[in-house]
Structure 1
Amino acid sequence: MKTWFITGASRGFGSLFVKEAIERGDNVVATARDPKAILDRFGERPNLLAVKLDVTDEEQAKDAVAQAVSRFGRIDVVVNNAGFGVIGAIEEISGKEVEAVYRTNVFGLLAVTRAVLPQLRRQRAGHILNVSSIGGYRSWAAWGVYASTKFAVEAISEALAMELKPLGINVTIVEPGYFRTDFLDAQSLTTTESTIVDYAETVGEIRKLAVSLNHNQPGNPALLAKALLTIVDAPNPPLRIPFGSDTVAAIEAKHQQVSAELESWRALSVSTDFAASQS
């Protein structure tokens, strides 16, 4: 039996992660800004603790961890799932809009991670899963600021994995593509207040695509939630796990593009070293 600590657990992937974990008999600490939504869905259960948590509030994060340990004695799996998206051209997105998405997607993840690490270090065991996105591996027009938050999540996770491996704690980056959740709904994806006509052929088309894809995405979120159980049960879990054929294809395409560009410019790239006789 494992004890899970899941952020953003009231809907979307977070709610599905809760479902899979409690139904197999694990303990779950499900956190959300409105924990009542969790209880309304799952009811009172001995292996479920619904806790109020705004991930941008560090004191709330520490208190949520304390409640988790008080109730279940330990924490085995941390799922940093809380987050939201913003769509718009780099020029269109205001500083206020940028700060809001970073506050949750990056600073919130850091706050929860810092709050839970003392417990995991005491245990010398645990597994942190940071929910990124295909946008954390490859950016795209209209998604630049959102993708930048997920690039940050991946950089943080890579370093964290190195720091925690000697302590017996694993880190995995979860990279979903387009899954049929409510991510493209207004409650999870904001659009910029400002729009600029010059970006109609790029960003404007992506906005239209987001509307047409909403609830028509190719990925099955229930299957991703089940797959997550395989990851947390693995004796040697991966650092990075993409989910969805669209994600795998996008990663492969980026690898090919980077490899081709590197080869094309290799001579100039390596020409900046000191010569052996000068070093």
Structure 2
Amino acid sequence: MKKKNWLITGISSGLGKALAEAVMESGDFVIGTFRKQEQVDAFNKANEGKGTSVLLDTADIDGIQKTLTEVLAKHTIDVLVNNAGVGFVGAVEETSIEEVRLVFEPNFFGALKVTQAVLPHFRAQKSGHIIQISSHGGIKAFGGFGIYNASKFALEGFSEALAQEVAPLGIKVSIVEPGPFRTKFAAAGLGEAKNVIDDYSETAGAFRAKLKGVDGKQEGDPVKAAKAIIDLANAEKPSLRLPLGKTALMTIGMKLDSVKADLEQHKKTAENAIFLENV
């Protein structure tokens, strides 16, 4: 099998780190991104010949094009993984517009800009695989998680459309939807709405406490997730979506059942909400 070059954003910890290590162990080459120069220097020193890294903050939209232009001048990319992102908890009403922007910059706008920056390269070589790291929360929303859900719903929306646009060009798109994995997602780096409204204590407040409480106890194994993503990238016909973990299967299944129930309930109403021609 041909050796692949992977561009993976956000490889300092969690799934991104596990994936970068697994890709290098498989014999493929990694170009990873970090937000701190000391991380870049340490990675490059430790992984010479197996991988390299660059300084990139995916919340810095203006800096993405410049950095990726430099990367693409040196490397051919076969697989792009938009992994970098942030978590956030808080009720919708509790969350300020400034806090919403801090979530959407890396989770949506950053991933979109990285994708747009790499697409000309993929179109020119008539091949490439874009893998978006979403969440089971990109399919089903949870009270207290609405802004994070919105950022991942948006990521999934443009990615699903993109898959249709680029398929005739030899480019593949996949969306990975992990449930809770044992990463630092629910640790000190988790964003929280600064405003707390007591009326939401039993909904968003309870979710906030629950999410913090599972840190270090999540069911998902990042090493196994990394292997599944590599298998996806090596598949001849990769699927559009890849759920990961028992919780993801359960929650996504619940969402599908809910949507189907609503469709059935309102089928007659929907069918009758049309013009009746020639009656």
TM-score (ref. length: structure 2): 0.95
CA 59–191 in structure 1, closer or farther in 2 if over 3 Å, else same: closer
Asked if the contact 2:40/2:54 (under 8 Å) is kept, the reply is: no
1:147 aligns with 2:184: no
TM-score (ref. length: structure 1): 0.95
Asked if the contact 2:43/2:53 (under 8 Å) is kept, the reply is: no
Tell me by how many angstroms 1:124 deviates.
Answer: 0.5
Where does residue 79 of structure 1 map in the other structure? 81
Asked if the contact 1:81/1:131 (under 8 Å) is kept, the reply is: yes
Alpha-carbon separation, structure 1, partners of 2:256 and 2:81? 28
Q: Which of 58, 63, 70 is the aligned partner of 1:60?
A: 63
Tell me by how many angstroms 1:35 deviates.
Answer: 4.6
* Matched ranges for 1:190-269 at <5 A: 190-269=191-270
Alpha-carbon separation, structure 1, partners of 2:115 and 2:30? 17
Secondary structure of 1:90's counterpart equals coil
Where does residue 273 of structure 1 map in the other structure? 274
- Is 230-239 or 111-120 further displaced after alignment? 111-120
Q: Which of 163, 176, 179 is the aligned partner of 1:177?
A: 179
Alpha-carbon separation, structure 2, partners of 1:112 and 1:181? 23
Where does residue 27 of structure 2 map in the other structure? 25
Secondary structure of 1:101's counterpart equals helix
In structure 1, stretches of 5+ residues that fail to align are: none
Q: How many residues align?
A: 276
Where does residue 158 of structure 1 map in the other structure? 160
Where does residue 88 of structure 1 map in the other structure? 90
| Matched AA of 1:217 | Q
Tell me by how many angstroms 1:219 deviates.
Answer: 0.8
Alpha-carbon separation, structure 2, partners of 1:35 and 1:13? 20
Secondary structure of 2:203's counterpart equals helix
| Matched AA of 2:215 | N
Moved over 6 A (4+): none
Asked if the contact 1:178/1:244 (under 8 Å) is kept, the reply is: yes
Tell me by how many angstroms 1:216 deviates.
Answer: 0.4
Secondary structure of 1:273's counterpart equals coil
Asked if the contact 1:8/1:81 (under 8 Å) is kept, the reply is: yes
Q: Which of 137, 140, 159 is the aligned partner of 1:138?
A: 140
- Is 26-35 or 190-199 further displaced after alignment? 26-35
Tell me by how many angstroms 1:68 deviates.
Answer: 2.9
Alpha-carbon separation, structure 2, partners of 1:276 and 1:160? 35
Alpha-carbon separation, structure 2, partners of 1:149 and 1:90? 13
Give me the identity figure in percent. Answer: 39
| Matched AA of 1:273 | I
Q: Which of 97, 100, 107 is the aligned partner of 1:98?
A: 100
Per-residue CA shift, 1:150-202, capped at 9, x if unaligned?
Answer: 00000010111011111100000010000010000122x11111000000111
Asked if the contact 1:56/1:111 (under 8 Å) is kept, the reply is: no
| Matched AA of 1:85 | G
Where does residue 47 of structure 1 map in the other structure? 50
Alpha-carbon separation, structure 1, partners of 2:41 and 2:278? 70
Per-residue CA shift, 1:47-95, capped at 9, x if unaligned?
Answer: 31110011133453233323333433x1000000110011000100001
| Matched AA of 1:112 | V
Asked if the contact 1:4/1:78 (under 8 Å) is kept, the reply is: yes
Asked if the contact 1:79/1:128 (under 8 Å) is kept, the reply is: yes
Alpha-carbon separation, structure 1, partners of 2:123 and 2:86? 29
Alpha-carbon separation, structure 1, partners of 2:208 and 2:37? 32
Per-residue CA shift, 1:10-65, capped at 9, x if unaligned?
Answer: 11111111101111121111112115325535714113111001113345323332
Asked if the contact 2:8/2:31 (under 8 Å) is kept, the reply is: yes
CA 92–156 in structure 1, closer or farther in 2 if over 3 Å, else same: same
Asked if the contact 1:58/1:115 (under 8 Å) is kept, the reply is: no
